[in-house]
Amino acid sequence: MLTGLAGHVVAQEQNSQAPAMTVTEKEAAKKIYFERCAGCHGVLRKGATGKNLEPHWTKTDKDGKTTEGGTLALGQSRLEKIIGYGTDGGMVNFDDILTKEELSLMAKYIQNTPDVPPEFGLKDQLASWKVLVEVKDRPTKQMNKYNLNNMFSVTLRDTGEVALIDGDTKEIRSIVKTGYAVHISRMSASGRYVYVIGRDGRVSLIDLWMEKPAVVAEVKIAFDARSIDTSKFKGFEDKYAIAGGYWPPQYTIMEGDTLKPLKVVSTRGVTVDGDYHPEPRVASIVSSFIKPEWVVNVKETGQILMVDYSDIENLKTTTIGSAKFLHDGGWDASKRYFLVAANASNKIAAVDTKTGKLAALVDVAKLPHPGRGANFTHPTFGPVWATGHLGADVLTLISTASDEAKNAKYKKYNWTVVQEVKHVPGNLFVKTHPKSQNLWADSAQNPDKDTAESVSVWKLSDLSKPYKILHVAKDSGLPETKAVRRAVHPEYSADGTEVWISLWGGKTDQSAIVVYDDKTLTLKKVITDPKMITPTGKFNVYNTQHDIY
Ligand code: DHE
């Protein structure tokens, strides 16, 4: 298998104004940039969630004068400080992750011209494709006795693995090797297969029917990637998978049971402002239940693509303009509308997947980050969808449309912010469940250690203040560490009675998943094991298969 972008030789123009670097230094910096920086700033450093990091020395104004700005203008020592200590604008600090020498290296690196990495087309993808267990050699029925509905696929971020944890017994059933820093797991429509995508673009297909669930196929679809989903519309169950690339900016449609890449489509093009963008990365992808379509959200262009997979030879795509930069999102309760964060515009875009049109662009507080969001019925405003914010101290509740007659009285609120619930900044994920009376939100990116290690829980009947704040790190009973162990990503069990929170420590710290009873908010279980290294996202099979949140 090929690695991520870090291992690739790329063209780099030299300029006398940039600090000189040896080949070895550049390679080391390139690896760090890929692993730590590219996600927010982009490979070409054009900026998205993070600022533009181009050197800018070649830019001239209309009179031919060199313009100020860019990393070169900031200079070495200012850049080292920004990278080390972060900024009020949302840049996180790296002084606890990178050494002094690495901080200095990165400051030098970003004053040099950005690398232009190679492309990765169908031929390259086919060359990387491996079927480890042929379809004919796979079980024809479930060969284990696990309650697969309540299995959790857990990202072990820094080991490049996924742990399959039995939700009933809390035992680790299997740990499988996957791509680098797996981002998400998604399910096939039948619930048999788990698809995971590494940041290095490696897709792994896990068959849950095997006696010991294992990877049965792999393919690499990009050098840098974050999203994957499957065909869930009736008649297409388990037929296709789709994965989105950050670099190259493209998506690949694959066979569902073998991962054979079938079609690669570039997302390069024009933004909603009418400017060409060379690196419009694929952010979230979701599969419609009402049409054979995927909703593909293109970050830098702000274009939402409805990709019709009923005839992939003659692919039809509807392009819906929204706002920049599209990131993550989820369905409303009716699963007709998809709501996605346009984070730099402080907006939520709602797409009507029935009509293939933008239903609304809703102004919200700074840097919305919904994960998949949370759906519930508000006592005053009816059906709402909630998002948290990285950059504001609220959770935003948006009234969603509903075709049900009983909800007609709420129509006047549709697509407006009906309430801002007081929280703290640095939220990444919110969650509830149709059977729960609670709303959970983490605060994993808050600069305060205690706050980052805690989660807040509200009663849906009274959102005026958190009903309880749970200090997950303390509840875990694990020895205290100097470094932050972030409490991140609440995920419900299939029956909606438990909430699992990852306690995301450093690579050498003992980490855990802390399980709470949703009704009593008491500690139920701490799942910990020497192999449980840096757990982050957790994906309950049933809830992920049916998009329940
Ligand atoms: Fe994520 C979802 C991108 C950092 C954990 N993240 C997503 C999605 C995108 C994305 C596009 C939506 C996928 C979908 O639904 O198809 N994430 C990015 C980044 O670009 C970013 C900001 C920087 C990077 O370099 O990757 C980033 N993400 C993180 C983390 O640091 C997190 C907290 C820990 C980790 O494992 O890396 C993290 N992202 C997650 C999780 C989801 C996710 C757990 C899925 C949420 C869900 O409930 O479905």
Q: What is the pLDDT of residue 48?
A: 87
Q: What is the pLDDT of residue 368?
A: 97
Each residue's pLDDT tens digit, 351-360 = 999 999 999 9
Element (H, E) at 231: none
* pLDDT, greater one: 126 or 49: 126
Q: Is the pLDDT of residue 55 over 50?
A: yes
Distance from Cα 42 to the centre of ligand 1, integer Å = 15
* The CATH number of the domain covering residues in 2-109: 1.10.760.10
Q: What is the pLDDT of residue 260?
A: 98
Residues with CB under 6 A from ligand 1: 39-40, 49, 155, 157, 181, 183-184, 226-227, 283-285, 327-328, 371-372, 428, 488-489, 536-537
User: What band does 8 get if pLDDT is binned at 50, 70 and 90?
Assistant: low
Q: Is the pLDDT of residue 58 over 70?
A: no
Distance from Cα 387 to the centre of ligand 1, integer Å = 15
Enter the tokens of residue 540. 């309950």
Structural contact between residues 151 and 165, judged by C-beta atoms closer than 8 angstroms: yes
CA 540 → CA 350, 435, 450, distances in Å? Answer: 25, 15, 27
User: What band does 300 get if pLDDT is binned at 50, 70 and 90?
Assistant: very high
Is there a catalytic annotation at residue 327?
yes
Structural contact between residues 4 and 223, judged by C-beta atoms closer than 8 angstroms: yes
Q: What is the pLDDT of residue 2?
A: 44
Active-site residue, from 91, 143, 210, 546? 91
User: What band does 75 get if pLDDT is binned at 50, 70 and 90?
Assistant: confident
Q: Is the pLDDT of residue 251 over 90?
A: yes
Each residue's pLDDT tens digit, 387-426 = 999 999 999 999 999 888 999 999 999 999 999 999 999 9
Q: Is the pLDDT of residue 430 over 60?
A: yes
Ligand 1, atom 38, lies closest to the CA of 183
> Helices 100-109 and 76-85: crossing angle, nearest 10°?
120
pTM, whole model, 2 decimals? 0.94
Would you list the domain boundaries of the chain?
2-109
Rounded to the nearest integer, the mean pLDDT of the chain is 94
Residues in the chain: 549
Rounded to a whole number, what is the distance in angstroms from the first to the last CA of the chain? 35
